[in-house]
C-alpha cells in the first residue's frame, strides 16, 4: 500500500520556500505521493477555512515537479466546474508529460457557494457540470493526436451515491476525504453494488485521512481515521489496507491556519508514521 501526503498550499505561513521544504521533506521520508488542494477565488467562505495566500494547484505542482525527482504529484481535489474542461485536459496532460508521468488528478464538485458565484459558475449545477466536464476531459485524452495524457489516473472524491456513481463512471479510484474507518467499511459495498449495476469495474480505493498524533488514545465511535496514538494510526492504516486501499493520503492539517506557520510539527508526525509503518511492514 502506498502512502501519500496532502501538503497545505495555503495559509499565512505558506510561501515558495516552505512549499519547497514540504516537497523535499515528504519525498525524503519516502512517501509515494504529494498532493495539494484547489481554490481559485479566495472568497469569504473559502478564506474562513483556507486563508490566502492560496497557491493554484497546477502551477504549484509544475514547480514542485522540478524540485522533486521521484514522488507522485496530485490534486486532492481539483474542483472540476471551476475551469473549462479542455483547459484542465491540456494542463493535466502537459503536467503529466513534464513530470515524467507522475500526475494523479483527484477531482471533486466543490462546496464554496461564494466562490462559485465569483467565477460565474452555477453552484446548484456543480454535480452535473462535473460529470459533463469529466466526459469531455476523457474524450480529449482519447484524442492522442492532440492531448497526450500518458494515462493520468482520475481519483473521484465524495461519499454520496452520486459521487460513487461518478467514481465508477470516470475514476480509476474512489477518493473519499477524512472519514471514520467504520463509515468507509460501510460505503465500500455500495461502491461495488453501483459498479455491478453499471457493469463497470470497481474503482480502486484511495482514501485521504486526517493525521493527528496524540499522546493518549482517542476513543469513541466518531474518531476519524488517522487520529490518535501512533499505534491507533498504524492500526487504521492496516485496516484500510485490509479493506483494499491501494493508496492512503495523510492530511496533517487539522483546521487552524496558524498551523502553516509551524510545519515542523507536521513533519515530525509524518516522520513518526513513516518509520512506524515501515517497521510494521517489515514485521509482516
pLDDT at 283: 65
pLDDT at 57: 98
Return mean pLDDT, the chain.
96
CATH level 3 topology of 2-282:
TIM Barrel (3.20.20)
Stretch 69-78: mean pLDDT: 98
What is the sign, positive or negative, of the torsion defined by CA atoms of 46, 51, 53, 56?
A: negative
Q: Is the pLDDT of residue 150 over 90?
A: no
Stretch 142-170: mean pLDDT: 91
Rama region for 142: left / alpha / beta (φ>0; ψ in -120 to 50; rest): alpha
> Percentage of residues in the chain with pLDDT exceeding 70?
98
Stretch 222-230: mean pLDDT: 98
Q: Is the pLDDT of residue 128 over 70?
A: yes
- Cβ–Cβ < 8 Å for 12, 257: yes
Note the pTM of the prediction, 2 decimals.
Answer: 0.97
Stretch 133-153: mean pLDDT: 88
- Cβ–Cβ < 8 Å for 231, 213: no
Q: Which phi and psi (to 5°) does residue 213 adopt?
A: -85, 140
Give bridge partners of residue 103 from the DSSP assignment.
73
Strands (E), the chain: 2-6, 33-36, 72-79, 103-108, 154-156, 173-174, 204-205, 208-210, 212-213, 227-228, 247-251
Stretch 220-235: mean pLDDT: 97
Amino acid at each position: 500500500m502506498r502512502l501519500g501526503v496532502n501538503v497545505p498550499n495555503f495559509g499565512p505561513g505558506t510561501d515558495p520556500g516552505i512549499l519547497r521544504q514540504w516537497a523535499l521533506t515528504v519525498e525524503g521520508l519516502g512517501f509515494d505521493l504529494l498532493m495539494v488542494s484547489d481554490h481559485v477565488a479566495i472568497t469569504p467562505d473559502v478564506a474562513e477555512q483556507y486563508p490566502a495566500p492560496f497557491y493554484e494547484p497546477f502551477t504549484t505542482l509544475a514547480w514542485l515537479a522540478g524540485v522533486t525527482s521521484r514522488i507522485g504529484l496530485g490534486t486532492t481535489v481539483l474542483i472540476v466546474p471551476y475551469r473549462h474542461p479542455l483547459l484542465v485536459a491540456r494542463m493535466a496532460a502537459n503536467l503529466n508529460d513534464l513530470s515524467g508521468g507522475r500526475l494523479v488528478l483527484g477531482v471533486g464538485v466543490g462546496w464554496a457557494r461564494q466562490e462559485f458565484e465569483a467565477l460565474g459558475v452555477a453552484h446548484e449545477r456543480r454535480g452535473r457540470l462535473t460529470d459533463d466536464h469529466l466526459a469531455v476531459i476523457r474524450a480529449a485524452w482519447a484524442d492522442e493526436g492532440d492531448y497526450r495524457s500518458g494515462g493520468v489516473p482520475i481519483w473521484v472524491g465524495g461519499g454520496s451515491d452520486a459521487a460513487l456513481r461518478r467514481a465508477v463512471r470516470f475514476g480509476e479510484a474512489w477518493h473519499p476525504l477524512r472519514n471514520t474507518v467504520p463509515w468507509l467499511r460501510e460505503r465500500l459495498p455500495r461502491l461495488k453494488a453501483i459498479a455491478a449495476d453499471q457493469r463497470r469495474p470497481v474503482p480502486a480505493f484511495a482514501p485521504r485521512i486526517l493525521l493527528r498524533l496524540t499522546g493518549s488514545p482517542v476513543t469513541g465511535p466518531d474518531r476519524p481515521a488517522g487520529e490518535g496514538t501512533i499505534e491507533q494510526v498504524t492500526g487504521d492504516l492496516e485496516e484500510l489496507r485490509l479493506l483494499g486501499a491501494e493508496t492512503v493520503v495523510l492530511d496533517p492539517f487539522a483546521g487552524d491556519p496558524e498551523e502553516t506557520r509551524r510545519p515542523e510539527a507536521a513533519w515530525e508526525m509524518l516522520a513518526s508514521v513513516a518509520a512506524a509503518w515501515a517497521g510494521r511492514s517489515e514485521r509482516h
